[in-house]
Chains A and B, each alone.
Chain A
Amino acid sequence: MSEVLDSYPQLLRGAWVTVQLTVCGAALALVLALLFGLAGASRHAWVRGLNRVYVEFFRGTATLVLLYWFFYALPLVGVRIDSTMVAAVLALGLNVGAYGAEVVRGSLKAVPAAQYEATVALNFSPYQRMRRVVLPQGFALMLPPFGNLLIELMKGTAIVYTVGLADLARVSKDVQGSTGETVAVFSVIPVLYFVIAQVLLLFVRYAERRVDRMLGRRPSRGPSLGTIAAGAPGTEAAG
Chain B
Amino acid sequence: MEWDWQYSSDVLPDLLRGLRYTLTATLLGYVIAVTLGLVWALLRRTPNVVVAQAVRWATEFIRCTPLIPQLFFVYYVLPAWGLTIGSLTAGIITLGVHYSTYTAEVYRAGIADVPRGQWEAATALNLPRSRVWLDVILPQAVRRVIPTLGNYLIAMFKDSPLLLVINVTELLNTAYREGAESLRFLEPITMVGLLFVLISVPASIFVRRLEKRYAAH
Give the B-binding residues of A (Cβ under 8 A). Answer: 56-57, 59-66, 68-69, 72-73, 76-78, 151, 154-159, 161-162, 168-169, 172-173, 176, 182-183, 186-187, 189-190, 193-194, 197-198, 223-225, 228-229, 232-236
Contact = CB atoms under 8 A, between A and B. Distances in A.
A194 B65 contact: yes
Contacts of B201: 56, 60
B109 A228 contact: yes
Q: Could you tell me the dominant secondary structure of chain A's interface residues? A: helix
A190 B204 contact: no
Given A60-B200, A183-B77, A194-B61, A77 B189 contact: no
A106 to B, nearest CB: 13
Given A158-B66, A182-B76, A236-B211, A73 B185 contact: yes
B190 interface: yes
Interface in B161-217: 161-162, 164-165, 172, 175-176, 179, 184-186, 189-190, 192-193, 196-197, 200-201, 204, 207-208, 211
Interface stretch (B9-17, B83-91, B121-129, B144-152): B144-152
Given A76-B1, A225-B144, A228-B105, A169 B66 contact: yes
B113 interface: yes
A26 B102 CA distance: 21
A186 B34 CA distance: 26
Say what secondary structure dominates the interface of chain B.
helix
A228 B160 CA distance: 22
A197 B64 contact: yes
Contacts of A169: 66, 68-69, 72
A159 B67 CA distance: 9
B155 interface: yes
B208 A236 contact: yes
A162 B173 CA distance: 11
Contact of A72 (B70, B112, B189): B189
A225 B148 CA distance: 9
B161 A183 contact: no
B7 interface: no
A77 B4 CA distance: 12
A224 to B, nearest CB: 6
A232 B155 contact: yes
A62 B109 contact: no
A233 B155 contact: yes
Contacts of B72: 169, 172-173, 186, 189
